[in-house]
Each structure stands twice: as C-alpha cells, then as structure tokens.
A and B are shown apart, each in its own frame.
Chain A
Amino acid sequence: MNSIVKALLAGTALTVAAASTATAQEIPQRVGYIVNYATHEWYQNVIGGMQDRADELGIELEVLDANLDIARQVSAAEDFMARGVDVMIITPVNEEGVVPILRRARANGTPVVLEGNPVVGMDTLVAICDYDTGYHAGVAAGEYANEHLGGEARVMNVGLPLLSATVLRSQGFMDGIRTQVPDAELVHDLDGGGNPDRSLEVSMAALAADADINVIYGINDSSAIGGLQAWRANNFPEDGLLTVGTGGEGLAFINEMEQDNSYELEAAMFPEKVGFTAMDAAVSMYNGEELPEHIVSPTTTLDTESWRQYYDYDGSSRAINWETVNALVPPAECMMYAADLEG
C-alpha cells in the first residue's frame, strides 16, 4: 500500500513537473512518427491522440507506416532524417532492427522517442505497464467473481505467448484475480494469435474439451471477443460468465458493453493517451530535458458504467474525454517487466 502511495506521488510529481515545464518549452516544428503497423486499430488511435496533441501545440506531425517491415522502418527513419524532422517517434517493428536507427539518429542529432517496446541504447520509452494493466483487471474480476459468481473463478485465457507484453498481461490478470479468489484456476491457456478469428477457433476447441469456465480473459479486445463468440456459438448462457477485455483499442468493447451481456470489464489502455504522451515526450526531448527511461502511460479498469466517463460514443464513433484520461495518474514504474518473466 505504501509503495502504491509512493508511486502515485511520484507519478503526480512527474506530471506536474511536465506540465509546468511545458509552458517554458520551445516547440519543435516537425515531428515524424514511424508506426510499426498503422492499420491496427490500436495504432490508429495512438496516431489520433498524437495528432490531437500536435494540433494543440502547433506541431506538424508526419506519419510513415513500416507495415511490420523493419527494412521499411529503417528507410523511413533515413527519410525523416534527410528531410530534417526535429524529433522522431518510433514504434519498433523489432528490437534489434531499431538499434542502428538509434545510432544514426544520435549521430545526426535527431532525438528519438520510442513507443511500446524498449530497445537497447534508447533514451526514453513511452509505454503502458502490461503486467499492472492485467493485474488491476484481475483484481476487479476477482471482486466481481466474489459478488456475482459465488466466489469461484475458472479462467479461459485467450493469450498471445509470442509477445512478452501480452504474457505479462495474462500473468498479471491471474495474479490479480488470485488476490480476491485464491483458488482461481487457469483452465485454458490459449494462443489466440491476438486476432479474432484465430481466437474464436482455438476457444471453440478449448470449450469443446472443457466448458467448465466462468471467466474469459483476452489479452486484447479481439481475443476476448473471439473467446466470447465461441461461448455464444455453443449456445451457452452468459449468466454466470464474466468476460474481460484488454486495450480498448476500438469500438468493439463499447459495442459489447452497451449490451446487457457478460462483457463487464475492460482493462483500458487508452491508445490516444499513449500518442498524446509520446508527443509531449518528443517536445521535452527537443528541449534537451532529462526524461525517465520509461514514461508510463496510464491504464485503468472500466466497467459498464465507468467507460462513459472516458469516452463519448455517438453510436458509430468514439471520442476520448481528455479531461478524465489526463486526470489518471500513472505509476512511476511497473510492478513487473518483461525481464522479470521466467524463462
């Protein structure tokens, strides 16, 4: 508890410090963002938040898509440097591939802010805490289980073991739920590939083998919905089931939460806020300020009521409520990092 309070105070101090220096900062004219996969909803919203902040500050933002190709990412970085952007923001396609870009950018005098994944030799990274996100959703799920599911939790995790970030989310979720339901059981630990159709397929097979679960956890919204749709395809009733998604990257979770069904909790990661924070970090880098190695972007667990405080929804599109999202205080550091994972 004491450490949480300390973390909150540290986070608040960092935010206040950032806000106070912002007024005295010089503003870069042009910022280039090399996204790893622009067609994903998550990154579309990261770009959206970045653009919003750039517009506020009067910065020209240019976005290039590496489309999961490290060679394209390298050439995009060379292109940006040749055209003299003031700061680059990069979401790495892979960790090793970005190292030479960082070296070249340093030699060229172009500051670089990384988003999402850490890279050796980086100056600063803007990212959420994956473990914490899953953990807090797990705690909320455990509380829900005690209240509505008779204190039992048998979990189907629709995960993605390929990525350390998503492994951290799943591990955090199970650790979190066990703080409330000590006997919570991981019945199925699946690889849904992070996409809805594969999640649907593996969940169908898993449910056919053993349908005795009452919690579906997805490492992103597509995975959670794939698992939930597999449940529905079996004509199982949703009474006595809890579905928990992660990300809040698009409209899917809102669409589910608007209905009266089992999708009760969302571990929201606010991609718009990640973009917003990355742009602020770019401004700080441009001004030569000392930044922490990891700037944490806040996450929180939403339920069927509280999501409306963070998003306005008109039936076909959503808009982030900056006031409430910016009021969230991120921890100064994460509870667990990829390096802490066993194996």
Chain B
Amino acid sequence: MSDARITGSGTASATATASRRGFVEGLLANRLIVLIVLLAVLCVAISIGSSNFYSVENIVSILRQSSMVLIVAIGMTLLLISGEVDLSVGASMAFTGAVAMSVMNATSSLLLGILAGLAFAGGVGLFNGVVVTFLRVNSLIATIATLMILQGGVFIYTREAVQNHHQIPTFPELGAGYVLGLPVPVVVAAVCFIVAWVALAKTTFGRRLFAVGGNPKAARLSGLRATRLKIAAFVITGLLVGVTGLILASLMNAGQPTAGRGFELIVVASVILGGTSLYGGEGTLLGTFLGVLILKVIDNAIIILGLNQDLQIVVPGVVIIIAVYLDQVRKKRHAT
C-alpha cells in the first residue's frame, strides 16, 4: 500500500514534473511570448531604477533609435529566412550617406540625392546577391568581402565627411522631422514593417522564401527559382540599408564615411534574438521587432542608469551567443 502510494505519489510527481517541463518547453518554444515577457521585465526593472524611463521623450528616443535598426533588420530577416546573411550593411549605410550627400550638394535636389542613395545601396545588394548565387560564394564570406571593399572604397570616394552644402530645408526632416507626432524614421520603419509583413505572410514570395531557406534541395526540385528569390532578398535588404543611410545622413547632417561600424552586428543580433534561425527557413518579423526593441531598451537603460557604456557593445555579443545556442538546441530537438 505504502509502496503503491509511494509509486502513485512518484508517478504523480513525475507527471507533474513532466507537465511542468512541458509547459516550460512549450513556453520556450514560443519565442514571441518569451520576448514579450523579457521586454516587460526589462521595462519594469529599468523604470524602478529611473523614473525618466517612461517619459514621452525617452520612449520617442527609444523608438527613433530602434527604427533605424529595425528598417535594416527587416531586410536581414528576409535574408536569414532565405538562408543567407549580409554583413556589409553598416559599411553600405555609411557609403550611401556620402553618395546621397554628394549628389544633393551637386544638384541641390533632395529627390536626386535620395534616388542616388537608394540606387547605390540597392546596387550593393544586387552585387552581393550575384556574388552569392552566381559565383556561389558563401554569403558570410562574400558580404565580409563587400564590407571591406566598401570601407576602403568610401575613403577613395571621399577622404572626409561630406558636409551639407546644399542646405535643402526638408533634408533635416528625414531624420529629425515628425509626422502626426511621431518621428519620421519611426513612421518609415512602420511602413516598411507592414509592407514586409504582408509580403512575408500573405504572398507567394514570402512562402517561397521560407521554402528556399528551409529546404533548398526540396525547393529546387519543386521548381522554385532560388537564385532569383535570394537576389531579390539581397536587393530588398540593400534598399532598406539605403533608407537607413539617408536617415542617418540627415540626422548627422553629413555623409560620414566612418559611420555604421558594428551596425551589422546589432542588426544580426536583433534578428537572431527575435527567433529567426541562422539555418534558414524560420523567422518572424514580429520577433525581429521585439529583438530590436529589447536591445535598444537595454542600450537606453545603460545610459539612463549611468552604467558603463561599453556594455552597449558587450550585450549584443552575449545575445548572439545565447540566441544561436538556443537555436541549435531547438534544431536538435526537432531533429530527434
């Protein structure tokens, strides 16, 4: 009896433990919920340390900083889903600002400057796509090479920051202006997010991107044109980098060739933290949004709590390791 009771109790305990483990695993499997909880905990903890955290100014500041990362992270999410990555985004962003500012100085036309910046950044995306798909160079290596070309090339293009000599009145509005009470970069990021979300969730382009990244062999056998899809993802990422480069140039009132160093790592960290798999075929834009927000809230906390600001560089590094490890664990579990 006692044995039975013990056994019974042991079974109940084991069942409860298994149930709890299942609940925790289920929770962990739902990355979005984890991210929302993490973000909420962070916000509460930071607000205890600083009463300014919930001020309108601070929230606007976080959103503005998040928006620039988010715009590029949207493209990076598409790329990672397709099984590729682009590490040249920071260098391309800096070069874009220099090109756009030069064209504006030469033509006194905001439109021509914007078009030149977008054409340049889109061209970089196309170049990356062609190198990766036609030359079959691994995207990690290819885009590191592009990064080097761009970082060196921008100094051949200009030895110093391209200053604002055009004084076009609307130019500062790209980075510092407001629409309906929201900073322009936030509105731009929101529009990019909605368009990309629709493209990813509701169109054949999105479904094919998941298919190409998830199982390239099967996708090829089923007739999907992986090359075109991947080049499209690279070009879209490039164009989004162009948008961010224009915003940054506007915010700094100059085309800064040294800008954007390390930007690619923040973007990749945000996307991976958001649950997009490094192995392709999985990911959500909502996760990316939350990943960006978490990293930027941590950045903000480091400043307003007066912590050592070198942590702003350390944190994304730690995040990348943890997120990739969790991704690997999850992959192994799925495999078994």
Contacts and interface: CB of A to CB of B under 8 A. Distances in A.
5 contacts: A195-B261, A197-B263, A207-B61, A232-B176, A251-B163
Interface string A6-37: 00000000000000000000000000000000
Interface string B43-70: 0000000101001011011101100000
Interface stretch (B154-162, B196-204, B234-242): B154-162
A190 B303 contact: yes
Interface stretch (B28-36, B207-215, B252-260, B281-289): B252-260
Interface stretch (A80-88, A114-122, A208-216): A208-216
Nearest to B254: A252
A206 interface: yes
Given A191-B310, A207-B57, A255-B164, A233 B303 contact: no
Contacts of B159: 39, 41, 44
B160 A251 contact: yes
A250 interface: yes
A235 B176 contact: yes
Q: Kindly list the 9 A-B residue pairs having the minimum CB-CB distance in the complex, ordered from nearest.
A: A208-B61, A205-B303, A208-B58, A191-B309, A209-B304, A233-B176, A255-B163, A208-B57, A197-B259
A156 to B, nearest CB: 11
A251 B256 CA distance: 12
A151 interface: no
B57 A197 contact: no
Contacts of B309: 190-191, 202
Interface in A212-250: 222, 225-226, 229, 232-235, 250
Interface of B: 50, 52, 55, 57-58, 60-62, 64-65, 155, 159-161, 163-165, 172, 175-176, 178, 183, 248, 251-254, 256-261, 263, 299-300, 303-304, 309-310, 312
A316 B253 contact: no
A41 B160 contact: yes
A183 to B, nearest CB: 21
A204 interface: yes
A251 B309 CA distance: 29
Contacts of B165: 255, 315-316
A250 B255 CA distance: 13
Contact of A205 (B256, B259, B261, B299): B299
Contacts of B61: 204-205, 207-208, 234
A251 B105 CA distance: 14
A201 interface: yes
Given A201-B299, A211-B57, 5 more contacts: A39-B159, A196-B254, A205-B58, A208-B52, A252-B254
A221 to B, nearest CB: 9
Max chain A C-beta neighbours (<10 A), residue from B155, B253, B303? B303
Nearest to B183: A233
A234 B300 contact: no
A153 interface: no
Contacts of A208: 52, 55, 57-58, 60-62, 300, 304
B259 A196 contact: yes
Interface in A166-207: 190-191, 195-197, 200-202, 204-207
Given A252-B163, A255-B164, A195 B304 contact: no
B260 A197 contact: yes
Interface in A304-320: 315-316
Contacts of A316: 165
B163 A225 contact: no
Contacts of A255: 163-165, 254
Contact of A200 (B50, B57, B252, B257): B252
Contacts of A197: 248, 252, 256, 259-260, 263
Given A255-B163, A255-B164, A206 B303 contact: yes
A129 to B, nearest CB: 25
